[in-house]
């Protein structure tokens, strides 16, 4: 487990430092994939297959990040719609 900690920290640092010029969707999907890969690697290491766990975790995390992004965009659109309706009612 100790030998896995440093590579995970380095991977997380590199993954988050490259997000400056990304769209919100890319950033949320990438963050989900990185978090899922880390969690999957840790869980997979208990069964002796960290690589497969990381791969599965990355896929699940990316899907979760993408769905979260869609939810936030719908929330923002609903807010903007309500705000516009409120401005028209004045």
Domain-wise residue ranges, the chain: 2-15+23-88
pLDDT at residue 27 in the model: 87
Over residues 20-62, the pLDDT tens digits come to 678 888 989 988 998 999 899 888 888 888 888 899 999 999 9
CA 51/CA 42 separation, integer angstroms: 10
Q: Which residues, in sequence order, are CB contacts of 56 under 8 Å at separation 6+?
A: 40, 44
Greater model confidence, 11 or 63: 63
- What is the structure's pLDDT at 69? 94
| Whether the predicted model's global pTM rises above the 0.85 cut | no
Query: Residue 38, exposed/middle/buried by CB under 10 A (0-12, 13-18, 19+)?
Result: buried
Give the relative orientation of helices 24-47 and 2-17 as an angle to the nearest 10 degrees.
170
Across the range 60-69, mean pLDDT stands at 94
């Amino acid at each position: 487990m100790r030998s896995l900690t440093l590579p995970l920290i380095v991977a997380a640092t590199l993954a988050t430092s490259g997000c400056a010029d990304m769209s919100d969707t890319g950033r949320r999907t990438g963050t989900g994939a990185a978090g899922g890969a880390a969690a999957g690697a840790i869980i997979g290491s208990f069964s002796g297959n960290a690589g497969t766990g990381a791969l599965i975790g990355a896929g699940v995390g990316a899907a979760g990040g993408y769905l979260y992004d869609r939810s936030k965009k719908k929330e923002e659109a609903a807010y903007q719609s309500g705000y516009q309706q409120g401005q028209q009612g004045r």
